[in-house]
Amino acid sequence: MNVAVIGLGYVGAVTATGLARLGHAVTGIDMDTARVKLIQQGKAPVYEPGLAATLAWAVKEKKLTARSGMQLDGNEVVFICVGTPSKKDGSTDLQYVRSVTEAVGKNLPDRYPLIVVKSTVPPGTTESLIPLIEKSSGKKYKKDFGIAMNPEFLREGKALEDFAKPDRIVIGAEDEKSRQMLDALYASFSCPKLRCNLRTAEMIKYASNAFLATKISFINEMAGLCDVLGIDVYEVAQGMGYDPRIGRSFLNAGIGYGGSCFPKDANSLIHVAKAAGIEPKILQAAAATNISQPLRLVEMTKKHLGELRNKKIALLGLAFKPDTNDIREAPALKIIVRLLRDGVHITAYDPQAMENTRKVFGDKLTYATSVSHALKDAEACLLLTEWEEFKKLDAAAFASMKRKLVIEGRNCLDREKLKGIEYHGIGRGI
Protein backbone atom coordinates (compact mmCIF):
# COMPACT_ATOMS: atom_id res chain seq x y z
CA MET A 1 0.00 0.00 0.00
CA ASN A 2 1.05 3.66 -0.30
CA VAL A 3 1.57 4.96 3.20
CA ALA A 4 2.53 8.36 4.61
CA VAL A 5 4.04 8.61 8.09
CA ILE A 6 3.94 12.07 9.65
CA GLY A 7 6.44 12.72 12.44
CA LEU A 8 9.76 10.91 12.06
CA GLY A 9 10.92 10.62 15.67
CA TYR A 10 11.39 7.33 17.53
CA VAL A 11 7.94 6.01 16.63
CA GLY A 12 7.61 7.49 13.13
CA ALA A 13 11.11 6.57 11.92
CA VAL A 14 10.67 2.99 13.11
CA THR A 15 7.12 2.70 11.73
CA ALA A 16 8.15 4.13 8.36
CA THR A 17 11.19 1.86 8.12
CA GLY A 18 9.28 -1.21 9.34
CA LEU A 19 6.45 -0.67 6.85
CA ALA A 20 8.98 -0.16 4.02
CA ARG A 21 10.66 -3.44 4.99
CA LEU A 22 7.25 -5.14 4.71
CA GLY A 23 7.08 -3.94 1.10
CA HIS A 24 4.84 -0.87 1.42
CA ALA A 25 5.74 2.35 -0.43
CA VAL A 26 6.35 4.81 2.41
CA THR A 27 6.66 8.58 2.43
CA GLY A 28 7.98 10.01 5.69
CA ILE A 29 7.03 13.61 6.51
CA ASP A 30 8.51 15.83 9.22
CA MET A 31 8.61 19.58 9.78
CA ASP A 32 12.20 19.23 11.01
CA THR A 33 14.12 19.70 7.78
CA ALA A 34 17.42 18.52 9.30
CA ARG A 35 15.74 15.24 10.21
CA VAL A 36 14.28 14.92 6.70
CA LYS A 37 17.67 15.58 5.13
CA LEU A 38 19.28 12.86 7.25
CA ILE A 39 16.69 10.32 6.10
CA GLN A 40 17.05 11.40 2.46
CA GLN A 41 20.76 10.60 2.87
CA GLY A 42 19.83 7.17 4.23
CA LYS A 43 20.78 8.04 7.83
CA ALA A 44 18.66 7.28 10.90
CA PRO A 45 17.39 10.38 12.78
CA VAL A 46 17.48 8.58 16.17
CA TYR A 47 19.65 5.83 17.65
CA GLU A 48 17.86 2.49 17.67
CA PRO A 49 19.62 -0.85 17.14
CA GLY A 50 19.34 -2.03 13.52
CA LEU A 51 17.54 1.13 12.36
CA ALA A 52 20.50 2.72 10.53
CA ALA A 53 21.09 -0.30 8.28
CA THR A 54 17.42 -1.03 7.51
CA LEU A 55 16.60 2.63 6.88
CA ALA A 56 19.63 2.99 4.58
CA TRP A 57 18.45 -0.08 2.64
CA ALA A 58 14.85 1.21 2.40
CA VAL A 59 15.98 4.62 1.10
CA LYS A 60 18.42 3.08 -1.39
CA GLU A 61 15.69 0.75 -2.72
CA LYS A 62 13.33 3.76 -2.95
CA LYS A 63 10.84 2.07 -0.62
CA LEU A 64 11.15 5.00 1.77
CA THR A 65 11.35 8.66 0.82
CA ALA A 66 11.26 11.68 3.14
CA ARG A 67 10.05 15.24 2.76
CA SER A 68 8.94 18.20 4.85
CA GLY A 69 5.96 19.25 2.71
CA MET A 70 2.51 17.82 3.36
CA GLN A 71 1.71 16.42 -0.11
CA LEU A 72 -0.36 13.31 0.46
CA ASP A 73 -1.66 12.52 -3.04
CA GLY A 74 -1.81 8.82 -3.79
CA ASN A 75 -1.49 7.76 -0.16
CA GLU A 76 -4.07 5.26 1.07
CA VAL A 77 -3.04 5.32 4.74
CA VAL A 78 -1.69 8.34 6.65
CA PHE A 79 -0.12 7.73 10.07
CA ILE A 80 0.11 10.54 12.61
CA CYS A 81 3.17 9.91 14.83
CA VAL A 82 3.94 13.38 16.21
CA GLY A 83 4.78 14.06 19.84
CA THR A 84 2.17 14.49 22.59
CA PRO A 85 4.18 16.10 25.41
CA SER A 86 2.89 16.98 28.87
CA LYS A 87 1.65 20.42 29.76
CA LYS A 88 2.62 21.88 33.13
CA ASP A 89 -0.59 20.59 34.73
CA GLY A 90 0.10 17.01 33.55
CA SER A 91 -2.50 17.08 30.78
CA THR A 92 -1.48 16.25 27.21
CA ASP A 93 -0.47 18.97 24.80
CA LEU A 94 -2.36 18.05 21.64
CA GLN A 95 -1.28 21.03 19.56
CA TYR A 96 1.00 18.97 17.26
CA VAL A 97 -1.63 16.30 16.67
CA ARG A 98 -4.27 18.91 15.94
CA SER A 99 -2.14 21.02 13.61
CA VAL A 100 -1.01 17.97 11.66
CA THR A 101 -4.61 16.75 11.44
CA GLU A 102 -5.68 20.08 10.00
CA ALA A 103 -2.87 19.97 7.47
CA VAL A 104 -3.86 16.41 6.53
CA GLY A 105 -7.44 17.61 6.00
CA LYS A 106 -6.26 20.41 3.70
CA ASN A 107 -4.25 17.90 1.65
CA LEU A 108 -6.62 14.96 1.89
CA PRO A 109 -6.02 12.39 -0.87
CA ASP A 110 -8.98 11.59 -3.11
CA ARG A 111 -9.71 7.88 -2.73
CA TYR A 112 -11.04 7.20 0.80
CA PRO A 113 -7.77 7.69 2.70
CA LEU A 114 -7.46 6.24 6.19
CA ILE A 115 -6.03 8.62 8.80
CA VAL A 116 -4.43 6.62 11.62
CA VAL A 117 -3.52 8.18 14.96
CA LYS A 118 -0.48 6.37 16.37
CA SER A 119 0.56 9.08 18.81
CA THR A 120 -0.50 8.32 22.39
CA VAL A 121 -3.57 10.48 23.08
CA PRO A 122 -6.20 10.68 25.86
CA PRO A 123 -9.46 8.81 25.31
CA GLY A 124 -11.80 10.83 23.12
CA THR A 125 -9.03 12.64 21.20
CA THR A 126 -9.24 10.72 17.92
CA GLU A 127 -13.02 11.26 17.76
CA SER A 128 -12.45 14.97 18.31
CA LEU A 129 -10.22 15.13 15.21
CA ILE A 130 -13.03 14.08 12.86
CA PRO A 131 -14.75 17.52 12.70
CA LEU A 132 -11.32 19.10 12.21
CA ILE A 133 -10.66 16.99 9.11
CA GLU A 134 -14.19 17.52 7.81
CA LYS A 135 -13.81 21.30 8.19
CA SER A 136 -10.36 21.59 6.63
CA SER A 137 -11.12 19.16 3.78
CA GLY A 138 -14.80 19.92 3.13
CA LYS A 139 -15.30 16.12 2.99
CA LYS A 140 -17.39 13.67 5.04
CA TYR A 141 -16.18 11.04 7.52
CA LYS A 142 -17.10 7.47 6.51
CA LYS A 143 -18.06 8.67 3.01
CA ASP A 144 -14.81 10.29 1.85
CA PHE A 145 -12.27 9.24 4.49
CA GLY A 146 -11.85 6.90 7.44
CA ILE A 147 -10.14 7.28 10.78
CA ALA A 148 -8.47 4.78 13.11
CA MET A 149 -6.54 4.70 16.37
CA ASN A 150 -3.65 2.26 16.36
CA PRO A 151 -1.56 2.69 19.53
CA GLU A 152 2.15 1.98 19.47
CA PHE A 153 3.70 -0.41 22.00
CA LEU A 154 7.32 -0.44 20.83
CA ARG A 155 10.06 -0.40 23.43
CA GLU A 156 12.92 1.99 22.69
CA GLY A 157 16.11 -0.03 22.29
CA LYS A 158 14.11 -2.92 20.79
CA ALA A 159 11.83 -0.91 18.54
CA LEU A 160 12.52 -2.55 15.17
CA GLU A 161 12.29 -5.99 16.74
CA ASP A 162 8.97 -5.00 18.34
CA PHE A 163 7.70 -3.68 15.01
CA ALA A 164 8.51 -7.00 13.34
CA LYS A 165 7.13 -9.17 16.17
CA PRO A 166 4.45 -7.26 18.06
CA ASP A 167 2.68 -8.88 21.05
CA ARG A 168 -0.59 -7.54 19.74
CA ILE A 169 -2.00 -5.02 17.28
CA VAL A 170 -4.86 -2.85 18.48
CA ILE A 171 -7.13 -1.61 15.69
CA GLY A 172 -9.48 1.07 16.96
CA ALA A 173 -12.03 2.03 14.31
CA GLU A 174 -15.75 2.63 14.07
CA ASP A 175 -16.42 1.82 10.44
CA GLU A 176 -15.84 -1.43 8.62
CA LYS A 177 -13.88 0.10 5.75
CA SER A 178 -11.29 1.72 8.08
CA ARG A 179 -10.96 -1.55 9.98
CA GLN A 180 -10.45 -3.51 6.77
CA MET A 181 -7.79 -1.09 5.52
CA LEU A 182 -5.71 -1.44 8.70
CA ASP A 183 -6.28 -5.21 8.62
CA ALA A 184 -4.89 -5.25 5.09
CA LEU A 185 -1.86 -3.16 6.06
CA TYR A 186 -1.02 -5.56 8.88
CA ALA A 187 -2.07 -8.72 7.01
CA SER A 188 1.35 -10.36 7.31
CA PHE A 189 1.36 -10.25 11.15
CA SER A 190 0.13 -13.32 12.97
CA CYS A 191 -0.08 -11.82 16.49
CA PRO A 192 -3.48 -11.27 18.18
CA LYS A 193 -5.34 -8.36 16.60
CA LEU A 194 -7.83 -6.64 18.83
CA ARG A 195 -10.58 -4.75 17.06
CA CYS A 196 -12.29 -2.14 19.21
CA ASN A 197 -13.65 1.38 19.10
CA LEU A 198 -11.46 4.52 19.06
CA ARG A 199 -11.72 5.33 22.78
CA THR A 200 -10.96 1.77 23.84
CA ALA A 201 -7.81 1.73 21.68
CA GLU A 202 -6.65 4.97 23.29
CA MET A 203 -7.39 3.62 26.77
CA ILE A 204 -5.58 0.30 26.15
CA LYS A 205 -2.37 2.24 25.55
CA TYR A 206 -2.79 4.43 28.64
CA ALA A 207 -3.78 1.57 30.92
CA SER A 208 -0.84 -0.55 29.69
CA ASN A 209 1.71 2.15 30.46
CA ALA A 210 0.05 3.04 33.75
CA PHE A 211 0.15 -0.61 34.83
CA LEU A 212 3.84 -1.01 33.99
CA ALA A 213 4.71 2.25 35.74
CA THR A 214 2.79 1.07 38.81
CA LYS A 215 4.60 -2.28 38.80
CA ILE A 216 7.96 -0.49 38.83
CA SER A 217 6.92 1.87 41.62
CA PHE A 218 5.56 -1.06 43.61
CA ILE A 219 8.86 -2.93 43.55
CA ASN A 220 10.72 0.30 44.34
CA GLU A 221 8.59 0.69 47.43
CA MET A 222 9.43 -2.90 48.38
CA ALA A 223 13.12 -2.07 47.76
CA GLY A 224 12.97 0.77 50.29
CA LEU A 225 11.54 -1.63 52.86
CA CYS A 226 14.04 -4.37 51.98
CA ASP A 227 16.93 -1.94 52.46
CA VAL A 228 15.78 -1.20 55.99
CA LEU A 229 15.12 -4.86 56.80
CA GLY A 230 18.42 -6.10 55.32
CA ILE A 231 16.73 -8.13 52.58
CA ASP A 232 17.76 -8.31 48.91
CA VAL A 233 14.73 -7.15 46.88
CA TYR A 234 16.08 -8.87 43.77
CA GLU A 235 15.79 -12.27 45.46
CA VAL A 236 12.29 -11.28 46.52
CA ALA A 237 11.43 -10.30 42.93
CA GLN A 238 12.78 -13.62 41.66
CA GLY A 239 10.62 -15.51 44.13
CA MET A 240 7.57 -13.44 43.21
CA GLY A 241 8.20 -13.68 39.48
CA TYR A 242 7.83 -17.48 39.31
CA ASP A 243 4.15 -16.92 39.96
CA PRO A 244 2.62 -16.59 36.46
CA ARG A 245 -0.01 -14.22 37.86
CA ILE A 246 2.83 -11.82 38.78
CA GLY A 247 5.64 -12.45 36.28
CA ARG A 248 9.27 -11.40 36.74
CA SER A 249 9.43 -8.53 34.22
CA PHE A 250 9.16 -4.92 35.42
CA LEU A 251 10.10 -5.97 38.95
CA ASN A 252 13.57 -4.45 38.69
CA ALA A 253 14.02 -2.08 41.61
CA GLY A 254 16.25 0.91 40.97
CA ILE A 255 16.17 4.60 40.26
CA GLY A 256 12.73 4.55 38.71
CA TYR A 257 11.16 4.78 35.29
CA GLY A 258 11.86 7.50 32.75
CA GLY A 259 11.60 8.02 29.02
CA SER A 260 9.13 9.86 26.89
CA CYS A 261 6.15 7.63 27.75
CA PHE A 262 5.63 6.31 31.29
CA PRO A 263 5.96 9.60 33.21
CA LYS A 264 3.93 11.61 30.71
CA ASP A 265 1.27 8.97 30.11
CA ALA A 266 0.79 8.28 33.83
CA ASN A 267 0.40 12.01 34.46
CA SER A 268 -1.97 12.38 31.55
CA LEU A 269 -4.16 9.53 32.79
CA ILE A 270 -4.22 11.07 36.27
CA HIS A 271 -5.43 14.27 34.64
CA VAL A 272 -8.06 12.43 32.56
CA ALA A 273 -9.31 10.57 35.65
CA LYS A 274 -9.62 13.73 37.74
CA ALA A 275 -11.44 15.51 34.93
CA ALA A 276 -13.86 12.57 34.90
CA GLY A 277 -14.42 12.91 38.67
CA ILE A 278 -12.31 9.87 39.64
CA GLU A 279 -9.47 10.07 42.19
CA PRO A 280 -6.74 7.82 40.69
CA LYS A 281 -5.10 6.95 44.03
CA ILE A 282 -2.90 4.09 42.84
CA LEU A 283 -1.58 6.01 39.86
CA GLN A 284 -0.90 9.11 41.92
CA ALA A 285 1.08 7.05 44.41
CA ALA A 286 3.04 5.35 41.60
CA ALA A 287 3.91 8.73 40.07
CA ALA A 288 4.90 10.24 43.43
CA THR A 289 7.14 7.25 44.27
CA ASN A 290 8.85 7.66 40.94
CA ILE A 291 9.61 11.33 41.47
CA SER A 292 11.61 10.67 44.63
CA GLN A 293 13.22 7.40 43.51
CA PRO A 294 16.29 8.76 41.65
CA LEU A 295 17.16 10.90 44.67
CA ARG A 296 17.45 7.79 46.82
CA LEU A 297 20.70 7.10 45.00
CA VAL A 298 21.99 10.55 45.95
CA GLU A 299 20.99 9.89 49.58
CA MET A 300 22.87 6.58 49.49
CA THR A 301 25.90 8.36 48.06
CA LYS A 302 25.82 10.92 50.87
CA LYS A 303 25.46 8.16 53.44
CA HIS A 304 28.58 6.38 52.22
CA LEU A 305 30.71 9.25 50.91
CA GLY A 306 29.74 11.99 53.37
CA GLU A 307 29.83 15.64 52.26
CA LEU A 308 29.66 15.74 48.45
CA ARG A 309 30.94 19.28 47.79
CA ASN A 310 33.99 19.37 45.52
CA LYS A 311 34.14 15.60 45.23
CA LYS A 312 34.55 13.98 41.84
CA ILE A 313 31.79 11.50 41.04
CA ALA A 314 31.60 9.37 37.91
CA LEU A 315 28.23 8.63 36.34
CA LEU A 316 27.97 5.58 34.11
CA GLY A 317 24.84 5.79 31.97
CA LEU A 318 22.66 8.77 31.10
CA ALA A 319 19.99 7.37 28.75
CA PHE A 320 16.72 6.38 30.42
CA LYS A 321 17.39 2.77 29.39
CA PRO A 322 20.08 0.91 27.43
CA ASP A 323 20.27 0.81 23.63
CA THR A 324 18.85 4.28 23.11
CA ASN A 325 20.20 7.83 23.04
CA ASP A 326 16.93 9.09 24.53
CA ILE A 327 17.33 11.03 27.79
CA ARG A 328 13.78 12.40 28.03
CA GLU A 329 12.73 12.17 31.71
CA ALA A 330 15.77 9.97 32.39
CA PRO A 331 16.40 9.49 36.15
CA ALA A 332 20.01 10.51 35.40
CA LEU A 333 18.83 14.06 34.73
CA LYS A 334 17.36 14.46 38.22
CA ILE A 335 20.48 12.96 39.78
CA ILE A 336 22.73 15.33 37.82
CA VAL A 337 20.69 18.38 38.84
CA ARG A 338 20.90 17.38 42.52
CA LEU A 339 24.62 16.56 42.41
CA LEU A 340 25.41 19.86 40.68
CA ARG A 341 23.44 21.67 43.36
CA ASP A 342 25.54 19.86 45.97
CA GLY A 343 28.76 21.12 44.33
CA VAL A 344 29.89 17.78 42.85
CA HIS A 345 32.34 17.59 39.94
CA ILE A 346 30.59 15.17 37.60
CA THR A 347 32.30 13.14 34.93
CA ALA A 348 29.75 11.26 32.87
CA TYR A 349 29.90 8.55 30.25
CA ASP A 350 27.18 6.93 28.13
CA PRO A 351 27.74 4.96 24.90
CA GLN A 352 25.03 6.87 22.98
CA ALA A 353 23.46 9.66 25.01
CA MET A 354 26.37 12.10 25.45
CA GLU A 355 25.29 14.47 22.70
CA ASN A 356 21.74 14.78 24.01
CA THR A 357 23.01 15.29 27.57
CA ARG A 358 25.38 18.01 26.44
CA LYS A 359 22.38 19.82 24.89
CA VAL A 360 20.81 19.99 28.37
CA PHE A 361 23.78 20.60 30.67
CA GLY A 362 26.41 22.20 28.39
CA ASP A 363 29.79 22.45 30.10
CA LYS A 364 28.47 21.92 33.63
CA LEU A 365 29.68 18.31 33.38
CA THR A 366 32.84 16.69 32.12
CA TYR A 367 31.99 14.30 29.27
CA ALA A 368 34.25 11.27 29.38
CA THR A 369 35.30 9.42 26.25
CA SER A 370 35.18 5.99 27.91
CA VAL A 371 34.36 4.19 31.15
CA SER A 372 37.99 4.29 32.26
CA HIS A 373 38.22 8.01 31.51
CA ALA A 374 35.10 8.64 33.65
CA LEU A 375 36.32 6.53 36.58
CA LYS A 376 39.87 7.90 36.85
CA ASP A 377 40.36 9.56 40.27
CA ALA A 378 36.62 9.52 41.05
CA GLU A 379 35.57 9.09 44.68
CA ALA A 380 32.35 7.33 43.78
CA CYS A 381 30.79 5.76 40.72
CA LEU A 382 27.01 5.83 40.26
CA LEU A 383 25.69 3.34 37.74
CA LEU A 384 22.53 4.75 36.15
CA THR A 385 21.84 2.76 32.95
CA GLU A 386 22.30 -0.97 32.45
CA TRP A 387 24.26 -0.94 29.17
CA GLU A 388 25.84 -4.29 28.20
CA GLU A 389 29.24 -2.61 28.30
CA PHE A 390 28.78 -1.81 32.00
CA LYS A 391 27.50 -5.27 32.96
CA LYS A 392 30.94 -6.70 32.15
CA LEU A 393 32.86 -4.37 34.48
CA ASP A 394 35.01 -6.09 37.11
CA ALA A 395 37.15 -4.91 40.03
CA ALA A 396 40.07 -4.08 37.71
CA ALA A 397 37.88 -1.62 35.78
CA PHE A 398 37.45 0.45 38.97
CA ALA A 399 41.12 0.29 39.99
CA SER A 400 41.95 3.86 38.93
CA MET A 401 39.32 5.39 41.26
CA LYS A 402 40.50 7.47 44.20
CA ARG A 403 37.97 5.66 46.39
CA LYS A 404 36.55 2.43 45.01
CA LEU A 405 32.95 3.10 45.93
CA VAL A 406 30.30 1.85 43.49
CA ILE A 407 26.61 2.61 44.02
CA GLU A 408 24.21 0.95 41.64
CA GLY A 409 20.84 2.17 40.53
CA ARG A 410 20.22 -0.68 38.09
CA ASN A 411 21.45 -3.94 39.63
CA CYS A 412 23.41 -4.98 36.55
CA LEU A 413 26.93 -5.51 37.92
CA ASP A 414 28.16 -8.98 38.85
CA ARG A 415 29.08 -8.66 42.52
CA GLU A 416 31.21 -11.80 42.29
CA LYS A 417 33.58 -9.87 40.05
CA LEU A 418 33.82 -6.88 42.39
CA LYS A 419 36.07 -8.25 45.15
CA GLY A 420 37.78 -5.37 46.94
CA ILE A 421 35.20 -2.82 45.74
CA GLU A 422 32.92 -1.05 48.20
CA TYR A 423 29.54 -1.88 46.63
CA HIS A 424 26.01 -0.71 47.41
CA GLY A 425 22.83 -0.96 45.38
CA ILE A 426 19.23 0.14 45.74
CA GLY A 427 17.22 -2.67 47.31
CA ARG A 428 20.21 -4.94 47.94
CA GLY A 429 19.81 -4.71 51.70
CA ILE A 430 23.44 -3.59 52.05
Active site residues: 261
Q: Is 408 strand, coil or helix?
A: strand
Q: In the set 40, 49, 52, 96, which binds ligand NAD (CB under 6 A)?
A: 96
Contact (Cβ atoms closer than 8 angstroms) between residue 154 and residue 11: yes
Task: State residue 147 phi and psi, 5-degree precision.
Answer: -140, 145
Q: Is residue 311 part of the contact set for ligand NAD (CB under 6 A)?
A: no
Residue 148 and residue 126: Cα distance in Å, rounded? 8
Q: Is residue 4 part of the contact set for ligand NAD (CB under 6 A)?
A: no
Query: Distance of CA 123 to CAs 16, 95, 154, 160, 205, Å?
Result: 25, 16, 20, 27, 10
Q: Is residue 11 part of the contact set for ligand NAD (CB under 6 A)?
A: yes
Q: In the set 117, 154, 253, 315, which binds ligand NAD (CB under 6 A)?
A: 154
Q: What is the H or E stretch that residue 307 is in?
A: none
Q: Is residue 18 part of the contact set for ligand NAD (CB under 6 A)?
A: no
Give the closest residue to 213 by CA, choosing from 171, 267, 160.
Answer: 267
Contact (Cβ atoms closer than 8 angstroms) between residue 253 and residue 220: yes
Q: Is residue 10 part of the contact set for ligand NAD (CB under 6 A)?
A: yes
Residue (202 or 386) nearer to ligand NAD, CB: 202
Q: Is residue 227 part of the contact set for ligand NAD (CB under 6 A)?
A: no
Q: Is residue 82 part of the contact set for ligand NAD (CB under 6 A)?
A: yes
Minimal distance, residue 152 CB to ligand NAD, in Å:
4
How many helices (DSSP H) and strands (DSSP E) are in the chain? Answer: 15, 14
Count of all residues that appear for the chain in the document: 430
Q: In the set 32, 355, 388, 414, which binds ligand NAD (CB under 6 A)?
A: 32
Q: Is residue 269 part of the contact set for ligand NAD (CB under 6 A)?
A: no
Residue 255 and residue 131: Cα distance in Å, rounded? 43
Contact (Cβ atoms closer than 8 angstroms) between residue 314 and residue 378: yes
Give the closest residue to 333 by CA, choosing from 302, 297, 380, 286.
Answer: 297
Q: In the set 260, 289, 290, 385, which binds ligand NAD (CB under 6 A)?
A: 260
- What does the per-residue mask of binding to ligand NAD show for 368-407, with x meaning CB under 6 A? ----------------------------------------
Amino acid at 283: L
Q: Is residue 9 part of the contact set for ligand NAD (CB under 6 A)?
A: yes
Binding range to ligand NAD, per CB under 6 A, among 49-57, 77-85, 268-276, 398-406: 77-85
Q: Is 282 strand, coil or helix?
A: helix
Q: In the set 99, 238, 292, 370, which binds ligand NAD (CB under 6 A)?
A: 99
- Binding site residues, ligand NAD, CB under 6 A: 6-12, 29-32, 35, 81-84, 96, 99-100, 119-120, 152, 154, 156, 260-261
